[in-house]
Structure 1
């Protein structure tokens, strides 16, 4: 639910339901859910009252608007789904890019790359991010007339209202809670805490939280938890611009590496290891574990990444060379 990071709400159609975080777990008020359900149930959806859906050109983003690709746009999302499935179809059939030809050309069914409607629906059902928009499923209501795409008028209006409401919530959440400065569109200043996300600009974060000095190096993570030491009293050790939310630690030796914000911690644990190693200071952060430093190892995840570097180049090799240099 990316909306939680962006603005703390989830959408049921054009209805934004606020979520709450208590002791690290997200929840909601059931009364809000029931109210949203009643509103959607009362919406009159007539299949004989349709409007044309004017889909934009594939990857045709407005010039001079770096945030255009992040803004909610259900028409652009439908286009992205269509061309994404067409591209995956060609790759699955083992055809090289040189053999694709004019795969972006639209067929008589309105879909690109010889993609059939049945293939489009089946493929979309396999990926969570291509199943719904605003908590609703558009494909069962989308129809091709032979010349244009059509949707029920009421449903198209609902999606338009969702766009506007989501944009309003993001605009409000972008403002620094301390000084009111506007941050980047995709939640760059949003920090995860035990009670939800907070928006703070780097100067305000620096003034509100202490820099981590490495004084807990060598301490076991379980010991730190029993002490009740709070990571959110510190700045993120890696990006140094956001409030930390967790104590990052080595899963092989159990030693604390330091406090990280949600974004840096996610990049360390849930993305390919090479993505983290390319961060400035990423290699040195891993070596805050005394066990890894003494054994001249990187932990099981990053050792596997180092082995991959023997058979691939680019960022993997660069990241692993940084680790070897840091270990020296």
Structure 2
């Protein structure tokens, strides 16, 4: 039986059972599904000194032999979760991947490891929750199984996906937890030996610690990236000692809100672009069907429509792409299909009862040859999954023509980016650019 919250104690300490009731009640209408026992079921552990609720760290206090939390912090965490914009169609792959190991530390979130480990176990999602006597296994109070999407991969395999907004929320929780633990270690190493603080002192200090480490200010301890790695080769930089820690200290250069986790680089020229978060790294990855064939999925709307200038600036951090006023071949192919061939894409009437027309099928673009030999490289744009089976190939465009069209569009769409490009910056570039290194596995979740 859940405990009642005592009226008039908003902002004071309440038991974990009462906090569970507050959390469940406040998040009942949230687009992101939550569990009702977020503070008392695994992996929440009050004895660690905190619990994770959404993207926030909530401190726990030993109060009279039982664990409590500040009610105001539970309410803040719920308000932040309710404000998350949820798009169930914008998905990020979370597994299964090869070489997954059991989570090494049970006391920390490590949500990617936890999900990947459960997905590869017999029984798949929900196996842990179905064990005898086990409660609903959650991640930071989020019931991730209810929004996990299963998609076919080949004839027998399956892949698993979560909405991007939830991925970012869990990344924020993991980062906030890391900062909390670092601050706790620093305090334990530097604090003088004094008498233990009273329960009232702990309660007063609780909110102050939350403000210092809460993920609604994730960039407070991070620094913006100012081009410190410009012109460096990824193959050299990735082998340097301590580079992973340096990357984690920057803010993502694309979204500028999340902590960076991956050092993005151009697979054609080999140059480092900039540090980005996991979400942005998966956002820009081409949807390869084969090594020379990509499907132009919905996320290209953001890359080339709504957040165009940010992504163009990011891609042109590679000196090779900037000097040649182009994009890596897979990205140029996607741009050609999505933008240059937009007038060619057929449409069909919408279902009965609604007005207008909708684009036909799914765009796909493939290429023959290589950007190393532009005269022989040809892009072929086609439509898959036409309801009536009418459409196949829309256009065949030579690489050089596609690059010229992109240059014209770039000058109109992002003049500042176009102004920094051009043949006057070819000094120091490799005389022969490298072939495309295709990442078809969908892994890429490790730092290097």
TM-score between both structures, scaled by the size of structure 1: 0.43
In proportion to residue count, which structure has more strand? 2
Greater RCO, 1 or 2 (C-alpha within 8 Å, sep 6+) = 1
In proportion to residue count, which structure has more helix? 1
